[in-house]
Amino acid sequence: MDSFGEYGKRRGNFIFDLQSSFMTLQCWKINKLIVSLISRIIAALNDRAAIRENNSVIPSLVFEETDQYSALRHSAIVMARFSTIS
């Protein structure tokens, strides 16, 4: 036997689950965008340092990451390399 109140609770939980899933997806997309921007900025700084040292252009690593942890690892490697240059 199902009352209107129980139906409303189930319906409310379903909508809440959809909203939380959507927010998780949005947070993941925003994190991926931030990681991509940071890695591109670091690559541009790396190019600038290389130009300053060698008077030549070394193209930055342009990559499309599907895994945000891989992008973070790459950013950390480039950042460590950049800090040893300066």
40-69: average pLDDT: 62
Residue 77: which of 27, 43, 32, 33 has the closest Cα? 43
pTM of the model: 0.37
How confident is the model at residue 2, as a pLDDT? 47
**Who has greater pLDDT, 42 or 29?**
42
8-27: average pLDDT: 61
Q: Where are the domains of the chain?
A: 4-85
How confident is the model at residue 30, as a pLDDT? 77
